[in-house]
A and B are shown apart, each in its own frame.
Chain A
Amino acid sequence: MIRRFTRVPLVRHLLLALVGLAAVVVVLESTSPFRNAQLANVAYLGIAAGGLTVLTGLNGQLSLGHGAFMAIGAYTTALLLQDADPALPLVGVLAVATVVALVCGVVVGVPAARLHGPYIAGATLALAIAIPSTALFFDDLGGEQGLNVLVPDLPTWILDAAYFVTGNEMDRTRSIAYIGWVCLIVTYVLLANLQRSRVGRTWRAVRDDDVAAEIAGIHLGRARVLAFVVSAGCAGLAGSVMAMAVRITAPSGFTLNLSLLLLSAVVLGGLGSLAGALIGSALLTFLPQVVTDVGVDAGLTDVQAAQLSPLVYGLVTMAVILLAPAGLVGSLRGLLQRRRLASAGN
């Protein structure tokens, strides 16, 4: 009975989301403010990587420009949060940032849908380089120093409710971690449903064989643009959470590095898997700090320890690509499947 019930993807995803939410509450309430801040970092990277993994893994489009959409979301948020008493509630700010990125996604996605493979990578690469520099041309965007983001206090009723449930006082860092994780869960539920829906199937068909898909009556351009727009929206939302978590939005936070970082999170975790995107984001957040600490403890100077982390990160990426080409989650899934097949054979 229950099994039949959970076979409906929407129900299963919602149940998973509830479990996830409970886990988030437990983890955030039991960790230090610094861990909360790091977890907020995981959340915004995870949202953007989730969108990118859907685009790349499901629709086969490679984007090197998702950092630019994060910048769009972040700057929108920063502009809306310039006063201590903003015109919109936070939910509204997050929504506006997402919509602005969505619209920009349409503008970029329509011409990009005519491009394939390396050409679309090139086009989005140009975007990643151009968008942060445009911030320098408009004085209202704060130039090189960027804009400070003033995150207002959460409404009292939410703070009271949170205190009632958890018995802990909600500070600024923790409330932003909550915002990030709630956004992440909502995004992942939507993306997971999209994956399992008719839209997801057309995306996969376009990825696997675009000629066959076209013969089957799928409008290639429409499918590609939709995938691009959805993932741009995710990146916009991620940028919005990032602006709140980092408290500043400056061009140097959105260099090409960020776009490549997202891509490597997706590749490390396993292309096309949301869980993989999340794991990749967590790795990106925690690895540098752990490596630097180990380096300092081992007696390296500060400069050497700081240089150690990109080195280890590069080695880990190479190791994953060589040893687990399907990414961490992809390889694990493959392993489980083989074992299941083997036991079924017996």
Chain B
Amino acid sequence: MRSTTVRVAGALTAAALLAACGAGESRDDDDSGGGSAVGITDDSIKIGAHFPLTGVAAPGYSEIPSGHQAYYDYVNANGGVNGRKIEFVVKDDAYDPTKTSSVTNELVLEDEIFGMVSGLGTPTHSAVVDFLNSEEVPDLFVSSGSLMWGDDPEARPWTFGWQPDYEIEGKIIGQWVKENMPDAKVGLFLQDDDFGEDGEAGVRQYIDDQIVDVQRYTPGNTDVGPQIAALQASKVDLVLGFNVPSYTALSQLVAMKLNFTPKWFYSNVGSDPALVGSLLARFSEGSVKDDASLLDGVLSTEYIPGVDAPDDPWMKLWQQVWDEYGEGGKLTNYRVYGMSEAYTFVQALQAAGDDPTRESVVEALEQVGGDFEGPGMAPFRYSEDSHLGISGMSVVELKGGKADPLTPVLVTDIGDAEITEDDSAAGDVPPDNGIPDEEPAS
């Protein structure tokens, strides 16, 4: 009698335990299956990005995705990558991090993209970089030069930068000023975020003692009169600007009004002569003519060939692609930038092999990404220790809307890495069919 009770109780306990274990196992199992093949089928791969298509940052930047699209259409028309057509989904975030977060949710959770390619902006992308990494979504070639996209691959293993970061740009600018204008009194005109901060850190490595004044502006506040007047009051004769194009136009306008005529040196981001020219015309309500020559004598940097060099083999390819597959309108430097990024993405996809997964794209970039040949004038720095992009640039002077190189390509890395001359990547030419041909990495 008693033994029956014990037996029944024992059986019940065992059953309960088993049931509990079963539940426990099924909970833990949910993680397996690894969503690494999300967004990719035998004949398609879906990628996405957030761009400011509307709002204050839309001029210029909204043209970048049309460059991507034209190049993907070109690749798709020629058979795609290993038979897969690239589908590029673009969402508008109006340069508002809150919206970036919600459109990224949409891209990752609803559209189920394979990866994020070229999402634009430092404040906007920093809203989603942790989410993309925790969801293990490849986050390739962020359209921004913040160090955040590659200086710490352990913290953000899925994120890769593309363009030279703002710190090495600052270093190269700083060294050039030290060597060529050692007596100049330098004033800095900075955007008040990572962009200005990283640039300043780079510049200060070389000309800390030459800097007499630092002025910052907040994006959105269009009155830069006080900052420019302060620079004038400090008797600055060289202004280094780490600012976006609309602030190049604003600072030029204010300087004209104040009769302030220093030498100007704008970092690459803010120096597109065509866009700045048209913004100047718009901001001055026509009293300044839309003319790229307004920036004559302005110094800047360059890391990919642009529309001012129509004879460059890369530009010939971009022009051909744009004429055939573009959505209309002129080929601009922003569209060229988009096509150049798209070219690198196709390389990464090829390097990932016949059956790419989210993991294999990242692995391939770490293993062979540093050897990719492309429109960049300097090699990429991709490795297991660094996910930072193009390693250098040359200093140029603008003349009649054209960039005139003043230095060979200068290459360096963050921190106290030396600046060296390296033309190894500058002579790269595109393959005859315009589509890269990378070997699978493994």
Contacts and interface: CB of A to CB of B under 8 A. Distances in A.
Nearest to A160: B27
A146 B123 contact: yes
B106 A289 contact: yes
A248 B218 contact: no
B284 interface: no
Interface stretch (B94-102, B175-183, B200-208): B94-102
A33 B109 contact: yes
Interface string A240-260: 001001111010110100000
A136 interface: yes
A146 B106 CA distance: 22
Most chain A Cβ neighbours within 10 Å, of B66, B106, B122: B106
A306 B94 CA distance: 9
Contacts of B53: 302-303, 306-307
Contact of B127 (A34, A41, A248, A289): A248
Given A169-B27, A173-B105, A247-B127, A143 B97 contact: no
Nearest to B96: A252
Contact of A306 (B92, B106, B127, B218): B92
Contacts of B130: 148, 247
> Main secondary structure on chain A at its contact with chain B?
helix
B97 A250 contact: yes
Contacts of B127: 146, 148, 246-248, 250
A163 interface: yes
Contacts of B62: 303
Interface residues of A, number: 34
Size range of the chain B interface in the assembly:
35 or more
Nearest to B103: A289
A200 B432 CA distance: 76
Interface in B120-167: 122-123, 126-128, 130-131
A207 B14 CA distance: 68
B421 interface: no
Contacts of A145: 122-123, 126, 193-194
Given A246-B102, A250-B123, A303-B62, A144 B96 contact: no
B54 interface: yes
A32 to B, nearest CB: 7
Interface in A229-288: 242, 245-248, 250, 252-253, 255
Most chain B Cβ neighbours within 10 Å, of A38, A144, A292: A144
A173 B192 CA distance: 32
Given A169-B30, A307-B53, A307-B54, A246 B98 contact: yes
A34 B109 contact: yes
Most chain B Cβ neighbours within 10 Å, of A38, A143, A306, A310: A306
A252 B98 CA distance: 8
A301 interface: yes
A66 to B, nearest CB: 15
20 contacts: A32-B109, A34-B106, A35-B110, A37-B109, A144-B123, A144-B193, A145-B193, A148-B130, A163-B23, A163-B27, A169-B27, A242-B98, A247-B128, A247-B131, A248-B97, A248-B98, A248-B101, A248-B126, A250-B127, A292-B91
Closest 5 CB pairs of A and B: A306-B92, A34-B109, A253-B98, A34-B110, A248-B127
